[in-house]
């Protein structure tokens, strides 16, 4: 593998001159520049990015912390974020915390070792002060971690309201809310929006907590078996909703004739599953764009207009509601 010294030798210049050409810093006359570029092409020389990052104290790497990688919503969001990151000539380092503090500790050390330029936080961390102590620009997705850390979130309160109103408009009188862990802020916001409409319309309802990553079909089945007279179900994720529909089929309850179901996220499966799922759509495109664009501004020490951005969600009506 060719080194910078090999390039300098073929181009008959100093290593410092090759470095100036590669980094586009300092004056190099055009003739010498062409000789260096020809030598780089001939040797197929690839600069050692790690060494350059140590020298420049800039890696052009953005670290992103996610709670898990099995979520279809996170997968779609990551794809958007990576595309925009690459367009800005940065690379993305994906770190799966699994909501594990020991793994987070390891990633904190990695961020220091590799001179990470910025961090996108999706993880449900309780260690925000540790991240802030790295003195690396941070933006949070899905959570407002602190007042002084920028964030972008979906309007989850609106999502809860839209789902509740759709079920009520469809004539539902007894509604179950299968939600994610109630300790999570997005879940709390969806619940608040949902409950506000239920209470206003005096509709009987109750909530049941499930795991987002692996919702228990046994728990879902037990709740449905104990409430066979329910006629509407709102779920905090499309995966939970698809599990709910399977459980309803087992007890002979038809969707949407007997029970109407609404999910949350608008993942691809919601469009191809039968019946096609009515859901609340989060804009992964808008969230991903805002997160990366804002983080790049922070890394460039540019001002940002909105510190805590909220992206509206929309109701996508399909075949599981009337």
* Long-range Cβ contacts of 220-228 (<8 Å, 24+ apart): 220/178, 220/244, 220/247, 221/247, 221/250, 223/176, 223/178, 224/176, 224/248, 224/251, 224/253, 225/251, 227/174, 227/176, 228/253
CATH class, range 4-47: mainly alpha
pTM, rounded to two decimals: 0.82
* Distance of alpha carbon 268 from the chain centroid: 16
* Full pLDDT tens readout for the chain, 322 residues: 788 899 899 999 998 998 888 877 888 999 999 999 998 888 888 776 555 555 556 678 999 999 888 888 999 999 999 999 999 989 999 999 888 888 888 888 888 878 899 999 997 777 788 888 889 999 999 988 888 999 999 999 999 999 999 999 999 999 999 999 999 899 999 999 999 999 999 999 999 999 998 999 999 999 999 999 999 999 999 999 999 999 999 999 999 999 999 999 999 999 999 999 999 999 999 999 999 999 999 999 999 989 999 999 999 999 999 9
Residue labelled with tokens 């971690």: 145
Tokens of 274: 């039968």
Tokens of 68: 């898990």
- Cross-strand partners of 306: none
Q: Angle at the Cα of 134 (from 114 to 55), degrees rounded to 5?
A: 40
pLDDT, position 48: 64
pLDDT, position 71: 85
- For 309, which DSSP code? E
Alpha helices, DSSP H, located in the chain: 4-11, 15-23, 30-43, 49-56, 72-87, 101-113, 128-132, 156-169, 185-201, 217-225, 238-250, 269-272, 284-299
Tokens of 216: 């228990």
pLDDT, position 52: 56
CATH architecture of the domain formed by 156-282: 3-Layer(aba) Sandwich (3.40)
Q: 5, 13 in Cβ contact below 8 A? A: no
pLDDT, position 17: 92
Question: What is 61-154+285-312's CATH superfamily?
Answer: Response regulator (3.40.50.2300)
Q: Where are the domains of the chain?
A: 4-47, 61-154+285-312, 156-282
- Domains 4-47 and 61-154+285-312 agree in fold: no
């Amino acid at each position: 593998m060719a080194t910078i010294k090999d390039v300098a030798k073929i181009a008959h210049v100093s290593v410092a001159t090759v470095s100036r050409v590669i980094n586009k810093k300092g004056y190099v006359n055009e003739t010498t520049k062409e000789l260096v570029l020809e030598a780089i092409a001939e040797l197929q020389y690839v600069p050692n990015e790690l060494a350059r990052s140590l020298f420049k104290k800039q890696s052009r790497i953005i670290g992103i912390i996610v709670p898990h990688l099995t979520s279809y919503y996170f997968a779609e969001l990551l794809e958007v974020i990576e595309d925009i990151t690459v367009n800005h000539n940065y690379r993305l380092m994906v770190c799966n915390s699994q909501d594990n503090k020991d793994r987070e500790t390891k990633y904190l050390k990695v961020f220091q070792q590799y001179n990470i330029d910025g961090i996108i936080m999706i993880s449900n961390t309780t260690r925000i002060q540790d991240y802030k102590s790295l003195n690396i620009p941070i933006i949070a997705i899905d959570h407002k971690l602190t007042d002084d850390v920028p964030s972008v979130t979906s309007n989850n309160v609106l999502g809860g309201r839209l789902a509740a109103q759709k079920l009520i408009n469809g004539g539902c009188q007894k509604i179950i809310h299968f939600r994610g862990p109630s300790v999570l802020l997005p879940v709390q916001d969806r619940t608040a929006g949902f409950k506000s409409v239920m209470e206003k319309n005096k509709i009987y309802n109750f909530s049941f907590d499930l795991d987002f990553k692996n919702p228990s079909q046994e728990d879902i089945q037990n709740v449905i078996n104990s409430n066979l007279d329910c006629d509407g179900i709102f779920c905090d994720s499309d995966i939970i909703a698809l599990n709910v529909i399977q459980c309803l089929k087992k007890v002979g309850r038809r969707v949407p004739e007997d029970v109407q179901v609404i999910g949350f996220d608008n993942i691809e499966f919601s469009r191809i599953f039968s019946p096609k799922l009515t859901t609340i759509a989060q804009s992964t495109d808008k969230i991903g764009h805002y997160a990366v664009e804002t983080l790049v501004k922070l890394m460039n020490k540019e001002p940002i207009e909105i510190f805590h951005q909220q992206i509206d969600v929309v109701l996508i009506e399909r075949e599981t509601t009337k």
